[in-house]
Amino acid sequence: VITTELLSGIVNQAVKRGATEAEGFGVESTEFHVEVRLGEVEKLQEAASRGIGLRVLYQGRQASSSTSDTSPQAIDELISSAVEMAKLTSVDEAAALPIRDDLARETADLGLYDRGVGELTTERKIEMARSAEGAARGADPRITNSEGSACSTTVSKTVLVTSAGFAGEYQSTTCALTVAPIAKEGSQMQVAVWGDRQRALASLESPEALGREAARRALRKLSARKITTREAPVVFESSAAEELLGDFFVAGDGYSIF
């Protein structure tokens, strides 16, 4: 189990071995994923995973290491490799961890965790995927095939400890349902992938609505025709606009600009 105590121990040990600053990071999660295709369960995957990362600074030099192995020997290697590597990298004046005064003292509840997501039964998740695919396939006779429908959930815990005195953790959940019907007319085949992803189960769009919308999106692509090369006004639907905005953000983030 990854706890603030475990990470505090790692951070303290890194400092003891020479690190001037250290940050321990851990994630534990349970992931579930089921795919249904043409009404039958095709893939079912379930696993608990975890990982620990350590970032250290040694007189302005930075290095990091990570592992999925929490045995004492692996943790010892994690600490020594990060500290030893940091001694060999270059001094970077911009590299530093947040100082004590910058650390958060209280955090708002952002509603990232919904107990209901972890309590969903396997049968219910299969049913949700089946209903979404069923709604898509039932929407129109031209929906002749399907890439399937998937229901995924994750329940995770994130822990962060720094040598400047921060120690905290939070839990979060995600639940997602996607469906990908294939529409066919003549020799034309079009697929649309549609779905929803939320933190809380109650916010997730119903399987039936997602299925119908996916079908509508596959069908409307059927009559696609070529257009000539031209300059034209372009309307971005909200989901496409989001992607475009994402690219703008990448161009505008600190890393791209400095």
Interface residue with another protein among 67, 171, 198, 206 (CB under 8 A) is 67
240 contacts another protein (rule: CB under 8 A)? no
Positions 77 through 116 that interact with another protein (CB under 8 A): 77-78, 81-82, 85-86, 88-92, 95
Q: Which of 57, 62, 63, 54 is nearest to 23 (CA)?
A: 54
Pattern 209-238, binding to another protein, x per CB under 8 A? --------------------x---------
Q: Which of 54, 65, 58 is nearest to 96 (CA)?
A: 58
190 contacts another protein (rule: CB under 8 A)? yes
Which helix or strand (DSSP H or E) is residue 205 part of? none
Binding segment for another protein (CB under 8 A), chosen from 10-18, 58-66, 159-167, 243-251, is 58-66
- Minimum CB distance to another protein smaller for 104 or for 224: 224
- Minimum CB distance to another protein smaller for 67 or for 171: 67
- Minimum CB distance to another protein smaller for 60 or for 168: 60
Q: What tokens does 219 get?
A: 């069908």
Beta-carbon contacts of residue 8 (< 8 Å; ≥ 6 apart)? 24, 161, 167
Binding segment for another protein (CB under 8 A), chosen from 155-163, 189-197, 205-213, 232-240, is 189-197
74 contacts another protein (rule: CB under 8 A)? yes
Q: Which of 137, 173, 138 is nearest to 32 (CA)?
A: 173
- Minimum CB distance to another protein smaller for 173 or for 190: 190
Which three-class secondary structure state does DSSP give residue 51? strand
| Dihedral angle of Cα 10, 14, 16, 20, to the nearest 10 degrees | -130
Interface residue with another protein among 3, 30, 66, 171 (CB under 8 A) is 66
CB of 104 to another protein, least distance (A): 24
Contact at 8 Å (CB) between 124 and 196? no
Q: Phi and psi (nearest 5°) for 160?
A: -135, 135
Backbone CA torsion sign across 195, 198, 204, 207: positive
Binding segment for another protein (CB under 8 A), chosen from 46-54, 102-110, 128-136, 199-207, is 46-54
Contact at 8 Å (CB) between 185 and 222? yes
Task: Please give the residue ranges that form the binding site for another protein (CB under 8 A).
Answer: 37, 40-51, 61-71, 74, 77-78, 81-82, 85-86, 88-92, 95, 145, 147, 182, 188-191, 229
